[in-house]
Structure 1
Amino acid sequence: MRLKFIALKFPIYFSKKIAFSKDNKNNLSKVIVFIGRLSVALGIIVSLITVSTGLGSKKAIESRLANFSGHITIKSTRSNSSYNTSVLNKEGLKINEIKSLEEVAGVQSYATVSGILRTEDNFDGVILKGVSKDFDAERFQDFMISGEIPKFTEIGYNNQVILSQKIANDLHLKTKDSIVAIFSKEDQKPIYRKFVVSGIYKTDIKMIDDLFIIGDINHVRKIQDISKDDVGGIDVFLKKSETIDSAFPKIERLIGFKNFAEKATDKYPQIVDWIGLFDTNIALIITILLVVVVINIIMVLLILIIERTNSIGVLKTLGANNQQIRAIFINYTLLIMVPGLIIGNVIGVGLLLIQKFFGIIKLNPENYYVSTVPVDLNPIYILAISLGILLVSAVALILPSYLISKISPVKVIKYD
């Protein structure tokens, strides 16, 4: 039993002796080891950047969509493609039960109407999203770049509005400026409203920033001739975005038959398609990098075997079998990879931390829906990448290590 244990430990012990031997510093092994570690380090760095920025972009876009209009929105089935919302049907709608769901963080009601903002020399088509006293100002604060969020109490009419930076720039407006809004209705004269710019926001989502202004829901009710208790929809915010698939059917059962629920990402199918590309790109890049790293590591193993042919012959002469010698060289190659893994993680995580806190690399939000490259530093992904590369490399080394069985100790010693 003791001899069997020693036999099992022998490959690990011997591979460590070779890996940390001073002899490696003055022969071909020095160059081979450097190449192996460099390929692993580069593979780790690029993999970390690809996964962290790809997943970070997905989460950032989904989070912005959800924080602006809720993870899930409840609307009337009578709503069509018009930006003027239909009144939400209260029959079967159980708001309190929705609020009490474990996944739900809160809800807010709203109503929308389309119109035009006009200045002396320009105009812009907009959608006034009227919000009520349950408006989640704290959540919306992340979008604010100047000014402040008005208090919407539903008492009277609050003439303060929040414009997107895009609309404010188009109309050359800043906070505390006045602006005239025009709303039209069928068979009626246009309705004029004068608003004051209280704040300016920016989501980087073009479909939102190009259209939406935030104001008092009572203005929308007045323009649409609906009751003071009626709303056009309800935004439902979840505690965690990851629970949207489990929360959605629960919410659907509590909204009644004359209303429907819609996920935030489903409102903008072009964004959903864009987000879907991240998974494909990440998988493709990781696969290519893994293939490159594995090929390099296999080449390192083969060269090390050829270089140490004499040592293999001596080991076989002393009684070591092919399986033990193969284990020695596989362990040896994996030990070579470890410093590369450590260096790659240090550099990769360091670069990502710099981007996360300083936002050095910028993007065009019209094309990417974010203005800086977002970073998602999840320790699970970091660990999974390193262990994944190590495990795949270990499996890939098994087949080329069979070259050792072809080496005859008699021929090696003869030619030596």
Structure 2
Amino acid sequence: MNLELFIARKIHFEKDETRKVSPPAIRIAITGVTLGLAVMILAVAIVIGFKEEVRNKVIGFGSHIQIATFDNNQSYETHPIAISQEMRDSLCLYPEIKDVEPFATKPGILKTDDAFLGVAIKGVDSQYNWDFFKEYLVSESIPQINDSVISNEILISKNIADKLHLGVGDQILCYFVQDNIRARKFKITGIYQTYYTDYDKIFIIGDIKQVQRLNNWKKDQYSGLEIRLKNFDQLNFMTETLYFKYIDKTDKYGENYYVRSVKEQNSQLFSWLDFLDTNVWVILILMSLVAGFTMISGLLIIILEHTNMIGILKALGANNITIRKIFLYVAVFLVGKGMLWGNVIGLGLCAVQYFFKIIKLDPEVYYITSVPIEFNFWYWLLLNISSLIISVLMLIGPSYLVSLIRPAKSIKYE
């Protein structure tokens, strides 16, 4: 039998009406651990969810990796590169790659009878994966694009539709400023709304052949190639792999290939998202300290209230290490109870927000309509294990109070 554990159970589960101090102190200690762990679970779930939501929207518009020509021009008027079917097929052989899709962009001006708006048309082909835009489609359907004829159907954002008072089925002229100003009449077949205003206020999606014809490009010339990965964690590895594969290669027109990741294209945004991790660490540290200090005060009160028992155990031959183990076991019981309730409250609040979207956000500021929740089992498990270890380690120091208690004086202490 484990004597220390046996005595610790007796102390923890005892019903002693004469003790007036330790029950409130214990409740405060347990509450500290409960609130600390619940806040940490919420903080981690919210930050992971927020980063996931924003990151997915950026990737939805521009993919994980792009292969284009090196161009210092920051506008959507791009220089073409040639992309062969063999090149696309070779990229599809990588197990980390999900989709390989050509794209072409061109700035234009949408014009109605009483308003106009600068936009950028993003041209895609018949094999384009529309899953991202289908998720945020608010009206009708996506454009029908095929390889045989040029389609005049486009998908616009709700932001653009509201500004120009447009709806599904409307036709609108788009002017393209180049050597000779050209105009194209497009038919709106669908409206999307991602709430990522940086892109919603700019992009319309249409047939890639429209852009090629406007720029007088050949059939194999595009603005670039979008590569979507199966796992975001493979981004750095695949970017480096493709960068060195194409660094010294040119297309058949002599243009160099340039590989860049979504992080490079949106460096400020991803720096901001990475900075959120710092906020989480601050919350985790503060909550750990709060829970730890409440547990320390609770343990000290329990030790002081059991001074008489400590003196008797020492008189019977128990050493300081044995007695310290007893009170550390008691502390583990208290921490465990606090962590149990912390998990119930933390996960419960996460579930409520995940399913019912109670707490709303301003999409103009945060790019999303409600506080996002993303549960990661391994983060949750690591959070629980580290919380238990940190709490117990913080209690080792206060347990040394046992060594200061003298049997001769403490036995008669009540």
TM-score when scaled to structure 1?
A: 0.94
Residues 65, 415 of structure 1: alpha-carbon distance in 2 compared, 3 angstrom cutoff = closer
Percent of paired sites with the same residue:
34
- Cα contact 1:12–1:328 (8 A) shared by 2: yes
Q: Tell me which of 280, 287, 307 is aligned to 1:282.
A: 280
TM-superposed CA distance for 1:78, in Å, is 3.8
Show the counterpart of 1:123: 116
1:73, distance to aligned residue in structure 2 (A): 1.0
Which secondary structure state, in structure 2, belongs to the residue aligned with residue 151 of structure 1?
coil
Which of 341, 345, 348 is the aligned partner of 2:346? 348
Pair 1:220–1:25, CA change in 2 (3 A): farther
CA 1:378 to 1:221, structure 2 compared with 1: closer, same or farther past 3 Å?
same
Matched ranges for 1:177-188 at <5 A: 177-186=170-179, 188=180
Residue 402 (1) aligns with residue 400 (2): yes
CA drift at 1:90: 4.4
User: In the TM superposition, what whole-angstrom CA distance separates every residue of 1:143-171 from its partner, at most 9, and x where no partner exists?
Assistant: 22222112211322211100111111111
The RMSD of aligned alpha carbons is 1.8
1:63, 1:37 → 2: CA distance? 39
Do the aligned residues in 1 keep the contact of 2:83 with 2:222 (CA within 8 Å)?
A: no
- Pick the aligned partner of 2:364 from 363, 366, 389: 366
Candidates 203, 208, 211, aligned match of 1:212: 203
Which of 361-370 and 124-133 deviates more?
A: 361-370
Q: Distance in 1 between matches of 2:266 and 2:116?
A: 25
Aligned equivalents of 1:163, 1:92: Cα separation in 2: 29
Aligned counterparts of 2:302 and 2:239: Cα–Cα separation in 1: 57
Aligned 8 A contact 1:116 1:183 in 2: yes
Q: CA deviation at 1:24?
A: 6.8
Question: Quick one: distance in 1 between partners of 2:355 and 2:84?
Answer: 48
User: Matched residues in 2 for 1:215 and 1:311: separation?
Assistant: 81
CA contact (8 A) 1:15 1:332 kept: yes
How far off its partner does 1:279 sit? 0.7
Q: What SS is found at the alignment partner of 1:402?
A: helix
Where in structure 2 are the equivalents of 1:262-273 lying within 5 Å?
262-273=260-271
Check whether the contact 2:84–2:220 (CA below 8 A) recurs between aligned residues.
no
Asked whether the equivalents of residues 161 and 196 of structure 1 are also in contact (C-alpha less than 8 Å), the reply is yes
How far apart are 1:91 and its partner, in Å?
8.8
Instruction: State the Cα distance separating 1:366 from its structure 2 match.
Output: 2.5
Deviant stretches of 4+, over 6 Å: none
Q: Is the 8 A contact 1:79 1:86 kept in 2?
A: no
Q: Secondary structure at the match of 2:361?
A: coil
> Which residue of 1 is the match for residue 193 of structure 2?
202
Q: Counterpart of 2:159 in structure 1: which amino acid?
A: K
Q: Tell me how far apart the structure 1 counterparts of residues 312 and 125 of structure 2 sit (CA, whole Å).
A: 84
CA contact (8 A) 1:175 1:200 kept: yes
Counterpart residue type for residue 346 of structure 1: V
1:277 corresponds to which letter in structure 2? F
Query: Are the structure 2 counterparts of residues 79 and 98 from structure 1 closer, same or farther at C-alpha, using a change threshold of 3 Å?
Result: farther
Aligned match of 1:106 in 83, 99, 102?
A: 99
**Local SS of the residue matching 1:60:** helix
Q: Tell me whether 1:232 sits opposite 2:223 in the alignment.
A: yes
Could you tell me how far 1:228 is from its partner in structure 2?
Answer: 2.3
**Offset, 1:342:** 1.0
Q: Is the 8 A contact 1:162 1:197 kept in 2?
A: yes
Q: Distance in 2 between matches of 1:414 and 1:374?
A: 59
SS of alignment partner, residue 68 of structure 1: helix
- Correspondence 1:6-405 to 2 at 5 A: 6=1, 9-23=2-16, 27-78=20-71, 80-90=73-83, 94-186=87-179, 188=180, 190-255=181-246, 256-257=249-250, 258-405=256-403
Take 1:75 and 1:227, find their aligned partners in 2: how far apart are those partners? 16
Give the superposition deviation at 1:17: 1.6
Q: Distance in 1 between matches of 2:393 and 2:217?
A: 68
SS at match of 2:222: coil
Per the TM alignment, residue 92 of structure 1 is displaced from its structure 2 partner at its CA by 12
Is the Cα contact below 8 Å between 1:150 and 1:198 reproduced in 2? yes
- 8 Å contact 1:79–1:85 — kept in the other structure? no
Mapped partners of 2:212, 2:84: distance in 1: 20
Deviations 1:293-348 (A, max 9, x none): 11111111111111111111111112111001111111101201212111111111
2:118/2:202 contact within 8 Å kept: yes
Aligned length in residues: 407
**Is contact 1:55-1:376 (8 Å) kept?**
yes
* Change beyond 3 A, Cα 1:78–1:270: closer
**CA separation of 1:140 and 1:253: change in aligned 2, threshold 3 A:** farther
Counterpart CA distance in 1 for 2:129 and 2:84 is 25
Q: Against the structure 1 CA distance between its residues 24 and 214, is the aligned structure 2 distance closer, same or farther, given a 3 Å change threshold?
A: farther
Q: Is the 8 A contact 2:68 2:81 kept in 1?
A: yes
Report how far residue 140 of structure 1 moved: 2.9
